[in-house]
Chains A and B, each alone.
Chain A
Amino acid sequence: MNREALIQIVKQPVQWIEDRTGVIAFSTPLLSHHVPRSAKWWYVFGSATLMFFTIQIVTGVCLGTMYAPSASNAWESLRYIDEEIPLGWMLRALHGWSSSAMVVMMAIHMLQVFMHGSFKFPRELNWITGVFLLLTVLALAFTGQVMRWDQDAYWGLGIGAAIVDRVPVFGDQMRALMLGGPIIGGETLNRFFALHVFILPGAAIGLVGVHMTLIMKNGISEMPKPGEIVVPSTYRKGFEERMEKSGVPFFPDAAQRDMVFCGVCLILLVFLAAYYGPFGPGGMPDPTLINTNPRPDYPFMWIFGAVSLLPPASETAIMLISPVVGIAILVAVPFLSNSGERAPSRRPGMMLLAVFVVMAIVALTWEGVTSPWSPVMDGWSALPTPTQFVKGRTPLQMQGAVVFQYAQCRNCHELGGFGGKRGPALDEIATRMSPDQIVRQVQQGGGNMPAFGKNLNSAQMTAIVGFLSTLRPANEADSTIPGAQLPLPIKSPLVLESPFTGTGVPAEISAGVSSR
């Protein structure tokens, strides 16, 4: 069979399909439409986001064939996928890492569009559909985290429900709608499953379609040049002329860069998935297990960090108002400024704003990673007093160190870098507080610390204060009270008025500070 005949065999069915559908006539202009010659590597992030979204759909459908969306079986089915299905863990790892990568890539794409002023006329709706895509993807990430149905999911839902619950008037109803009842249960998982696999992906696919159609309609923006000003009345005409004259076809000129970048992203994704494996599932979603340290997935870590910093009095207002205001501002961006300069060098205020937002999100993410969920519940019995804090101590101070463990101070306070983070580290407490101040703080608490006066008798109090008064670097003086007579007389017995034992107990505070 010669070459010509072979080509005919392939050509005939293609022509038949083209005749009936017109698919080639439809897609040729999509591939060959002209894009700016200056559109180089800055323009690859949107394509990479789309690639990750495609991976999400493919891996998600595969996972959907094995995942059991019921409260009693979900966790077990993930273990099953991880351990029994060949490369099932890889599927989950790809889905998880691709989800994070999509959020990151989307954020970079959005930042690039913002910094290059590409949202200005006539691309306002490109930006707005992008904002809604971002929200949809974040919603997918959150509902995806719930699919794991582990401790992180449980407490993530708990925080979400608590926020929704604070909505005035409709709080109860909204929470019931979110959870499918008064508590987190099987109904909740089913609800989030429906959102995660039907509603949100459908919405995302629709929005991607609109976003792409708008790109075809309005063209890809050129690289901004200082002095090239966007004037709505003349922009389209000028843009079309420039594309005619100096544009290059999307395929293959621009598409090849997209392909290279997507290829690199894909290799990185497979590496991350193969090396770090799937996300979770963490511990069982059991609210009675208090020795837990749940964290949201990274896209929400900054919100977790921000919430951990809120002063209690302002929590409700800030948690309910700031998302609305934030989304409103994002949507309003192209209307606040849809003409004029696009070049970053001519928009220094906007650049500073972008840098500030990125830094704030990074800083809050760090806060979210490190902020304590609860005290370290077994700190008192698991973390030994470091050598430097027991060496050279008197018997009473040593008993104080035991009391320090016994009273579970370690659950909230660090010594030598280990311990809870609810309160300050106490390695150098004696340089900040005098023995009297420590007595007051331990007895009465305050500043987020409970009062221990009722739980410690006078001997325990004396010992623990004696121990704490030795916690300072050898070359630093201990705390002094300005204006007080110094040094405090060594060995003079001080009488602690103890309301808890009912009697004044002679407490040789001096024993605690004899190392002075």
Chain B
Amino acid sequence: MRLQIATFLSCLSILAFVGCDRMPGKPKEATPVVIGSTAWTQSTFNTNCRGCHSQGAEGAAIPLIDAGYWKVATDAQVIQVIAQGQGVLMPSYLDSNGGPMSSDQIAEFVKGMRTLWGAGVSGGQGGISGTVVAGNASAGSQVFASACASCHAAGGSAGSVTDPMYLKLISNQGLWSAIVYGRAALGSPAWNQPMPQHPNGLTPTEVADVVSWIAQSRPMSSANAQVKSIPKDKNASDSK
């Protein structure tokens, strides 16, 4: 009798095992990545952008996982920055410039990012341009003194923004973006938010003026800092 029960149970367990091809160890079939899908956008961002442009208080450059950014920046501006690079430290991602993405992919990518983090807002709605606007430097001097100097003058508590070394690394567009977006999570207010000594925030004209004034402290006179990171090989470019 015991033998029969044991035989029955073993047969049953063997049958159950053979019938089941859905154990945790079964390798998952690889799903092809569709360009433009959410998964693709997310993984492209995580591999290529997140190192500098993250969210909240994380990362050293402007966060892109942030609805405030997508309210100001238009798709065309973001595409331009990704394709052509920006200032000294943002590289170009366009394949014809040696980057990893085609122009179509960049367009799809920006569209995907807006769906993920700027859902419901289109760019250009922030009351200020996303790209730098030329201003009046002498008027900017006044703005700086009243709105910025208490924290950002040389030796200020939040660190100098007229330091030539800083200005060599950041373009006027970079200054513009730093003021416009701020870093709320790090305690830096955006352009129209109240500042410690300046309760009303700035107007778009004041932002333009102060950027022009700060840029004057840059050791090189060009509007954008163009510091080459690696000296170009003269012979290589001549031989083309």
Residues on A close to B: CB < 8 A? 82-83, 86-87, 89-90, 93, 270, 273-278, 378-387, 390-399, 401-406, 410, 454-460, 462-463, 491, 506-508, 511, 514
Which of B89, B159, B230 meets A394, CB within 8 Å? B159
By a CB distance below 8 angstroms, the chain A residues around B58 are 384-387, 390
- The interface bits of chain B over 160-172 (1 if a CB of A lies within 8 angstroms of the residue's CB, else 0) are 1101111011100
Is the beta-carbon distance between A511 and B159 smaller than 8 angstroms?
yes
CB within 8 Å of A: which residues of B? Answer: 17-18, 21, 23-27, 29, 46-52, 54, 56-61, 88-89, 91, 152, 155, 158-161, 163-166, 168-170, 178, 185-186, 227-231
Q: Report whether A393 and B159 are in contact in the complex, using a CB–CB cutoff of 8 Å.
A: yes
Contact call A402/B52, Cβ cutoff below 8 A:
yes
Q: How far is B87's CA from A431's CA once the two chains are assembled, in angstroms? A: 32
Contacts of B185 in A (CB 8 A): 387
**Cβ contact within 8 Å between B56 and A387:** yes
Known interface pairs A93-B25, A384-B54, A394-B160; A454-B49 also in contact (CB < 8 Å)? no
Query: Are the C-beta atoms of A399 and B47 separated by less than 8 Å?
Result: no
Could you jot down 26 A-B contacts, CB within 8 Å? Answer: A82-B27, A83-B29, A87-B18, A274-B23, A275-B23, A275-B25, A382-B46, A383-B51, A384-B60, A385-B51, A385-B52, A387-B185, A390-B58, A394-B159, A395-B170, A397-B159, A399-B166, A402-B61, A457-B228, A458-B165, A460-B227, A506-B164, A507-B165, A508-B165, A514-B155, A514-B159
What residues of chain B lie closer than 8 Å to A87, measured between beta carbons?
A: 18, 21
Nearest A residue (CB) for B53? A384
Instruction: Report yes or no: A454 in contact with B230, Cβ–Cβ below 8 A.
Output: yes
Is A395 touching B178 in the complex (CB atoms < 8 A)? yes
* Residues of B with C-beta under 8 A to A402: 52, 60-61, 89, 169
Asked if A394 contacts B158 (CB within 8 A), the reply is yes
Contact indicator B163/A395 (Cβ below 8 Å): yes
List the A side residues contacting B152 at CB < 8 Å.
395
**Chain B contacts for A457, CB-based, 8 A:** 168, 227-229
Given the interface pairs A396-B165, A459-B165, the reply to whether A382 lies near B50 with Cβ below 8 Å is yes
User: Are B51 and A83 neighbours in the complex by a CB distance under 8 Å?
Assistant: no
Complex contacts, B24 vs chain A, CB 8 Å: 274-277
The A-B contact count (CB < 8 A) is: 153
- Other-chain contact of A382, B18, B26, B51, B231 (Cβ < 8 Å): B51
| A431 CB, nearest partner CB in chain B, Å | 21
Q: Contact at A384–B52, with CB atoms within 8 Å?
A: yes
Inter-subunit contact A277/B159 (CB<8 Å): no
Docked CA distance A185–B166 (Å): 53
Q: Report B-chain residues with C-beta under 8 Å of the C-beta of A506.
A: 164
A385 in complex: contacting residue of B47, B60, B164, B169, CB < 8 Å: B60
Known A-B contacts: A90-B21, A394-B158. Give 18 more (CB < 8 A).
A89-B25, A90-B23, A276-B25, A278-B25, A381-B48, A382-B48, A384-B51, A384-B59, A385-B60, A390-B58, A390-B60, A391-B57, A455-B230, A459-B164, A459-B168, A463-B166, A508-B165, A511-B165
Tell me the bound Cα distance from A381 to B186 in angstroms.
Answer: 21
Dominant secondary structure of chain A at its interface with chain B: helix
Chain A: minimal CB distance from B172 (Å): 14
A397 to B158: give the CA distance in the assembly, Å. 11
Give the docked Cα–Cα distance between A286 and B82 (Å): 29
Query: Shortest distance in angstroms between A411's beta carbon and chain B's nearest beta carbon?
Result: 10
Give A387 to B186 CA distance when docked, in angstroms.
9
Task: For B163, give its contact among A274, A276, A508 (CB under 8 Å).
Answer: A508
Q: Give Cα A86 to B17, complex, Å.
A: 12
| Residues of chain A lying within 8 A (CB to CB) of residue B59 | 384-385, 390
- List B contacts of A83 (CB < 8 A): 27, 29
Do B163 and A460 have beta carbons less than 8 Å apart?
Answer: no
Instruction: Give the Cβ gap from A262 to chain B, nearest Cβ, in Å.
Output: 16
Highest count of chain A CB atoms <10 Å: which of B17, B18, B161, B168: B168
> If A395-B160, A406-B89, A455-B230 touch, does A491 touch B52 (CB 8 Å cutoff)?
no
B26 engages A399 (CB within 8 Å): no
- Please state if A277 and B169 are interface contacts (CB–CB under 8 Å): no
Give the distance to chain A from B143, nearest Cβ to Cβ, in Å.
17
**Smallest CB separation, A190 vs chain B (Å):** 26
CA distance A368 to B97 in the complex (A): 39
The reply to whether B25 and A396 form a contact with Cβ atoms under 8 Å apart is: no
B161 proximity list for chain A (CB < 8 A): 395
- B159 near A395 (CB under 8 angstroms)? yes
- A391 to B60 Cα, complex, angstroms: 9
Residues of A within 8 A of B228 (CB): 457
Asked whether A390 lies within 8 Å of B57 as measured between CB atoms, the reply is yes
| B160, A277: Cβ atoms closer than 8 Å | no
Q: In angstroms, how far is the closest chain A Cβ from the Cβ of B146?
A: 19
Are B25 and A401 interface neighbours, CB within 8 A? no
